[in-house]
């Protein structure tokens, strides 16, 4: 994949795709000497990996779709969510390898899992609470997300956790980066930062 020819990417998007190609996550993490690692399975819930004919494995990200890289890539196989049970079974094999390697670099207590989730409601442009028309699909995705979280925590039980599932935050039509069931009202992010500070300063 020669990403230089795609001029419709921001520098950050180009860096994201290049990092995905380079597969240098663990090396970068080790060199960074980071005090904590924040994990979030959001991408795994909505998307999946794809295998190219040349052997490369890439994330099926919105960048891949919107820039045309996906259309120009010789795809051999795609792991999607058409069968979530099959996805989960395969995901666990990769998760086991990821966790095994991660724990050689980062102590479990220094890993923070954002349990995450999608909202089924939002404030519309008039500030009135509305329910997403795809509520059942959102709830199914939340169930699957929880399944991934539970698997990880069964393997890494001493990881730190941020869990806002019982808090009343919902979406907002005026969210700066676009209205979506994965974007919350501003109070959520302030609360999330407070929780991060609490976890990292209590050590």
DSSP of 129-183, one letter per residue? EEE-TTHHHHHHHHHHHHHHHHHHHHHSTTSEEE--TTS---EETT-TT---TT-
In terms of Cβ atoms closer than 10 Å to its own Cβ (0-12, 13-18, 19+), residue 145 is buried
Q: How confident is the model at residue 1 (pLDDT cuts 50, 70, 90)?
A: low
Cα angle: 49, vertex 180, 160; to 5 degrees: 65
Instruction: Tell me the pLDDT tens digit for each residue of 38-96.
Output: 999 999 999 889 888 888 888 888 887 777 777 777 889 989 999 999 999 999 999 99
Residues 6+ positions from 66 with CB-CB distance below 8 Å? 8
pLDDT tens-digit readout, 45-59: 998 898 888 888 888
Q: Model pTM?
A: 0.89
pLDDT at residue 10, as a whole number: 83
pLDDT > 90: what percent of the chain? Answer: 67
Strand 75-78, strand 49-52: pairing:
antiparallel
Q: Please list the alpha-helical segments (H only) found in 6-134.
A: 11-22, 25-32, 42-46, 62-67, 69-72, 84-102
> Do 32 and 94 contact (CB within 8 A), yes or no?
no
Mean pLDDT for all residues in the chain: 91
Per-residue model confidence (pLDDT) at position 156? 98
- Per-residue pLDDT tens over the stretch 111-124: 999 998 999 999 99
Query: 152 and 113 in contact (C-beta within 8 Å)?
Result: yes
Which of 172, 175, 188, 182 has its CA nearest to residue 126?
Answer: 172
Torsion angles phi and psi, residue 40, rounded to 5: -155, 125
pLDDT at 16: 84
């Amino acid at each position: 994949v020669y990403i230089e020819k795609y001029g419709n990417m921001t520098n950050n998007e180009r860096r994201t795709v290049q990092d995905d190609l380079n597969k240098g996550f663990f090396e970068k993490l080790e060199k960074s000497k980071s005090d904590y690692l924040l994990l979030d399975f959001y991408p795994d819930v909505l998307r999946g990996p794809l295998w190219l004919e040349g052997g490369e494995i890439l994330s099926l990200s919105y960048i891949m779709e919107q820039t045309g890289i996906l259309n120009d890539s010789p795809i051999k196989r795609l792991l999607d969510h058409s069968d979530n049970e099959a996805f989960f079974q395969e995901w666990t094999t990769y998760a086991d390898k990821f966790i095994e390697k991660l724990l050689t670099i980062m102590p479990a207590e220094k890993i923070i899992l954002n349990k995450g989730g999608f909202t089924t409601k939002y404030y519309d442009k008039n500030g009135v609470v509305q329910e997403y028309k795809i509520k059942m699909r959102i709830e199914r995705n939340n169930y699957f997300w929880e399944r991934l979280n539970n698997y990880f925590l069964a393997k890494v039980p001493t990881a730190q956790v941020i869990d806002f599932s019982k808090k009343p935050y919902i979406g907002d039509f005026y969210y700066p980066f676009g209205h979506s069931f994965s974007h919350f009202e501003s109070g959520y992010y302030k609360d999330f930062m407070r929780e991060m500070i609490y976890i990292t300063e209590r050590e």
